[in-house]
């Protein structure tokens, strides 16, 4: 099927409160524009150089309603390739990174919206905070006046066992609800980014407000 047909098939199944983010990493500009012409407006990249290059090509004058998000591991020396272009950094995975984003945002006179990446999968190599670290960080949220804490992001264990994926997403959904109750002063803390091409339907069952889909829209990466 075409990119437009793939998008239509997904969008028709989404609740109104769920944002579809098209993961365009490793896909050429013409594929992004095909998705854009089909109505998709929010795209995500995971490599700073690729994001900066695509954002320069698809500039804001020509595409004022095209929105970029960042979903990869972000090194602090690459902030200037990402932060000027994105509406949301989904993958803040350390206090060190958060501090550097705060420094950049303060110097630029900007507010940066972020999700905190939580490690819930079985793999030890995955990035992200543990739950207790997120709680400690949010108790200190006022230390980051230029950061808008918008919620959590996570990836399920890499497995075809849907019961494991279901348990992972239930865990993050429960934790998200706990944080919303614990920090009512964080009025923008309401986004849960879970679910990708193979597991987004399970994610929606567990409160996802953002799903990140690449292959199911664009096909295999080039």
Nearest to 171 by CA among 202, 197, 140, 198: 202
pLDDT at 60: 85
CA of residue 20 relative to chain centroid, distance: 10
Q: With b meaning 16 or more CB within 10 Å and e meaning fewer, what string describes 178-216?
A: ebeeeeeebeebebbbbbbebbbebbbebbbbbbbbbeb
**What domain range is 170 assigned to?**
3-218
Q: CATH no. for residue 208?
A: 3.20.20.10
> Measured between alpha carbons, how far is 116 from 197 in angstroms, rounded to an integer?
21
pLDDT at 222: 58
pLDDT at 27: 95
pLDDT at 3: 97
The stretches in the chain having pLDDT less than 50 are none
The partner residues of 152 in beta bridges, in order of sequence, read: 116, 192
Domain count, the chain: 1
pLDDT at 220: 84
pLDDT at 162: 96
């Amino acid at each position: 099927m075409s990119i437009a047909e793939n998008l239509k098939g997904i969008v028709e199944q989404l609740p109104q409160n769920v944002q579809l983010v098209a993961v365009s990493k490793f896909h050429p500009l013409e594929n992004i524009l095909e998705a854009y012409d089909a109505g998709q407006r929010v795209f995500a990249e995971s490599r700073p150089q690729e994001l900066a290059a695509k954002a320069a090509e698809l500039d804001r004058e020509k595409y004022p309603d095209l929105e970029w998000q960042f979903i990869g591991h972000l090194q602090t020396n690459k902030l200037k390739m990402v932060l000027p272009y994105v509406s949301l950094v989904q993958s803040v995975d350390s206090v060190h990174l958060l501090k550097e984003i705060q420094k950049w945002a303060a110097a630029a006179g900007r507010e940066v919206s972020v999700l905190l990446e939580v490690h819930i999968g079985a793999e030890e190599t995955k990035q992200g905070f543990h739950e207790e670290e997120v709680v400690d960080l949010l108790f200190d949220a006022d230390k980051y006046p230029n950061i808008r804490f918008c919620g959590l992001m996570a990836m399920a264990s890499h497995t075809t066992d849907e019961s494991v994926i279901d348990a992972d997403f239930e865990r993050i959904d429960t934790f998200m609800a706990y944080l919303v109750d614990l920090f009512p002063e964080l009025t923008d803390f309401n986004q849960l980014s879970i679910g990708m091409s193979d597991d987004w339907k399970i994610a929606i069952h567990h409160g996802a407000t953002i799903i990140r889909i690449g292959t199911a829209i664009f096909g295999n990466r080039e």
